[in-house]
Structure 1
Amino acid sequence: MKVICYICAMAFAGAAFAQDNMVEGRPMTSAEMGIMQDTPPNRTIDISAWDKGPDNRWAFQHISEFLHVANISRGSGPAAPLALALQDLSDLQFDGLDGQPMTVADMLVRTYTDGFLVMQDGDIVFEKYFNGMTPNTRHLLMSVSKSVTGTLAGILVNDGRLNPTALVTDYIPEMESAPGFGDATVRQVLDMTTAIVFSEDYADPDAEVVAHEATTAWRGENVPMAQEGVYAFATTIAKDASRPHGQQFHYASINTDVLGWLIERASGQRFADYMSAAIWSQLGADHDGQITVDYKGAAAANGGFVLTLRDLARFSQMVLDDGFYNGRQIVPSGWIDDIRFNGNNAAWQPTSYSSIWPDGFYRNQWYVTKDDHGSFFAVGVNGQHIWINPTTRTAIVKFSSLPVSADKENIALGWAAMDAIARSFEK
């Protein structure tokens, strides 16, 4: 079995394990900290920093109470049954920090897990909830949303309504004078190889991502740019003159919101309505989904999906099964193949990911490892994950509320644990 030291390979300094708000060796729950508990609450969340600890312990499970959301209807059909074949994976060990053995149970505590579910060969084999979360609780996906959005786009590509080789301006004429996206193709948006000036440094108040979050209505109404909306913001993004489009993978969340705009133009529907019609009402979900929207109603396709753990597991199983789930082909199998096999490794090489997965790539908003099991994954800040291992037919989903957004050390710890879990089912 091939073992990868994810944390060592990335050489992350990471964020130290927070000692504040701890009790009995574990993070305190939002209820234990008294966040939004009283009537009226004595301890409320900070709307300018609700996605940071400790407020996110409450906020990630209550998004619709303080942000605008659009509903994603599950339709009227029955929920797709989820078979149980439970086994206790808590004591499964893997190489953790500094190469020292760590158990899955310890990882779940250390990484501020809210919900964790393992599907193997279509059955739930392990399911845990923390911090007051339940199977009926929706949770923010953060940038796992990007991979959901990229999967949705594949339906439009397959039926010919969205052409990956076309220019963005063929669908969005408003982009013709946009410096960053005016000459970019749909494919370059899908694979984040647009040569745009966009910093994703959450700690830098001058980074483009900070203004981006304001335009998605994630920071309240009384901040600059909030009323302009995310689509208007996308037209202002500058182009990096040092490189052409298509040359290098450069992670920039605004790409996914442009993709959301492309989906709306190609489908002729609002994002949430098309998501409902094309995937969510076909999946047999237990619950309606949600997605946050800006003050003009545009969806935050880059990070705003809000779903239950089991419904995200259903979605992940659908992707594992080449787009087939609930007795129907929901996403074209060719699109899943395109994600897994058609990426640009040369564009991946300049990134830090190449130190872990040298043969990997980023395709259609998914990370593809090209490891010996063909694993691919979705990841979001504060510890959100989908991990798919086609060899052992394992799909793993994880919701977390890490106090630091880009806690690279603990995110890599999650990768190591999920990889070990998936490999443990190898025959």
Structure 2
Amino acid sequence: MPVKRMSFWLTAVIVSTVAALGSVAIAQDNMVDGRPMTAAEMEIMTGTASSKTIDIAAWDKGPDNRWAFQHISEFLHVANISRGSGAVAPLGRDLVDLSGVQFEGLDGNPMSVSDMLVQTYTDGFIVLNDGQIVYEKYFNGMKPDTRHLLMSVSKSVTGTLAGILVQDGRLNPISPITDYLPELEGAPGFGDVTVRQILDMTTAIKFSEDYADPNSEVVAHEAATAWRGENAPGALDGILSFAGTIKKDDTRPHGEVFHYASINTDVLGLLIERASGRRFADFMSDAIWSKLGVEHDGHITVDYHGAVAANGGFVLTLRDLARFGQMVLDDGFANGRQIVPSGWVDDIRFNGNNSAWQPTSYVKFWPDGYYRNQWYVTKDDNGSFFAVGVNGQHIWINPTTRTVVVKFSSLPVSADKENIVLGWSAMDAISRSLAD
């Protein structure tokens, strides 16, 4: 495979991305023979006399997450998302060895895809081109039928589901969310926001996403989603109650600045339930999952009141998430039917608010980009857009080369920004290498 170097543009993006987000040392925990040890090799949850159990307070960090991300339903509450009884939509195979595709790493030297997969603690990696599998790899004991936690890639799945309700008129983007969630009437942060501001994360709320700060809102948020067990403070109150405690940032109005805050997506999950009149998991099954031709049921984690952690709680197989990504690439069409209205995918790709992006550090990544309907849109020369989650979860979609890349990982550090950026650059290089 000839060397595919990143464009100067993407090199600049990577350098500025790391600088803007702050440097985090590339994780090298529990390595053997130059690769991360598997959960089995570390004897995590093996059932043997020397087996190590996971810590509910830190299961999403290394080394526990090497096991936990593939076994979510064994220690958290989940709702089932039925695939229905329809036939599986087959994925054709036209395999290409992409392991040697090279891109420019953070140190300016070439790095191969195969080296990136090892360095970034990859669990599963798949590339579709024109709807066919061209490359597929599994690590750390993961198999094609293994479900894996999506983390914040869940946000983009949730935003796509919301689009069905917006397009058929059941969820009005310009309406206040209290039309659907009267419980938040008068809430200090969310009492006066609109559905559109939730969708695009332009709510002016006080919410820190700093996982390393025990006093940050995101740490309390994780407890409210039941991710830290029932003994964590606030766990038994649940997501809706927690949303009512969030305060407003009085230095700016709602709707003007993109501010990433995971609680927005959990509020969106509640809006989806109220607008559809269905439990989230059941609506997801009826509207998308049972129509897509997936191979397996999905899961999504729920709080102690049954509300979904829409911000990060989807648990799906690699191929099934690739099918979802292919549907988005194909303007919501899959398995012989229009599942998500084409107009919603167009809205993601073309109707974002770049001015909300400008005051943030994200403008250094993609100057013309934006965040729309829970998706990141680069506005690069290939029209690429993507979903990303902590610990290295990704969907990358390149409409020009008709490529979908999905990556599951178990990076030891949640916000390991260098390794997450390496994933972006590798996926961009892969998708460009598949140009006709």
Q: What TM-score does the superposition give when structure 2 sets the normalisation length?
A: 0.97
Q: Does 1:379 align with 2:388?
A: yes
Answer whether contact 1:14 1:410 (CA < 8 A) is retained: no
Q: Are positions 1:124 and 2:140 aligned together? A: no
Residue matched to 2:120: 111
Q: Corresponding residue for 1:196?
A: 205
Q: Which structure 1 residue ranges, 4+ long, deviate > 4 Å from structure 2?
A: none
Counterpart residue number, 2:162: 153
CA distance in 1, matches of 2:129, 2:115: 22
Any unmatched runs of 5+ in structure 1?
Answer: none
| Separation of aligned partners in 2, 1:11 and 1:293 | 33
How far apart, in 2, do the equivalents of 1:327 and 1:14 lie? 45
2:160 corresponds to 1:166: no
Q: How far apart, in 2, do the equivalents of 1:424 and 1:395 lie? A: 13
Structure 1 position 318 matched with structure 2 position 318: no
Following TM superposition, by how much is the alpha carbon of 1:40 offset from its aligned partner in structure 2, in angstroms? 6.4
1:8 aligns with 2:44: no
Partner residue of 1:62?
A: 71
2:89 corresponds to which residue? 80
Greater Cα shift, 167-176 or 67-76: 167-176
Query: Could you tell me how far apart the structure 2 residues matched to 1:238 and 1:145 are?
Result: 24
Q: C-alpha separation between the residues in 1 aligned to 2:352 and 2:49?
A: 52
Contact in 2 for aligned 1:2/1:372 (Cα 8 Å): no
RMSD: 1.0
- Which residues in structure 2 correspond to 1:256-275 (within 5 Å)? 256-275=265-284
Q: Specify the alignment match of 2:315 in structure 1.
A: 306
The residue that corresponds to 1:249 in the other structure is 258
Matching residue of 1:277: 286
- Find out whether 1:335 has 2:340 as its counterpart: no
Question: Which of 99, 110, 129 in structure 1 is aligned with 2:108?
Answer: 99
| Counterpart-to-counterpart distance in 1, 2:29 and 2:374 | 35
Conserved in 1, the CA contact under 8 Å of 2:26 and 2:418? no
How big is the shift at 1:142?
0.1
Q: 5+ residue gaps in structure 2?
A: 1-5
Deviations 1:334-383 (A, max 9, x none): 00000000000010012222112000000000000000000000000000
Letter of the aligned partner of 1:348 in structure 2?
A: W
Q: Offset at 1:2?
A: 4.2
Aligned match for 2:229, one of 220, 240, 249: 220
User: Within 1, Cα distance between the matches of 2:233 and 2:336?
Assistant: 48
Percent of aligned positions with the same letter in both sequences?
A: 77
3-state SS of 1:221 partner:
coil
Give, in whole Å, the separation in 2 of the partners of 1:375 and 1:160.
Answer: 28
Aligned residues: 427
Secondary structure at 1:30 match in 2: coil
What CA distance in whole angstroms lies between the structure 1 residues aligned with 2:384 and 2:178? 34
Corresponding position: 1:396 with 2:396: no
Contact 1:344 1:361 in 2 (8 A): yes
Structure 1 residue 15 displacement after superposition: 2.8
Distance 1:24 1:17 in 2: 17
**Bigger mean CA offset, 16-25 vs 366-375:** 16-25
- Measured in 2, the distance between the counterparts of 1:316 and 1:415 equals 16
Displacement of 1:41 after TM fit? 6.3
TM-score by length of 1: 0.99
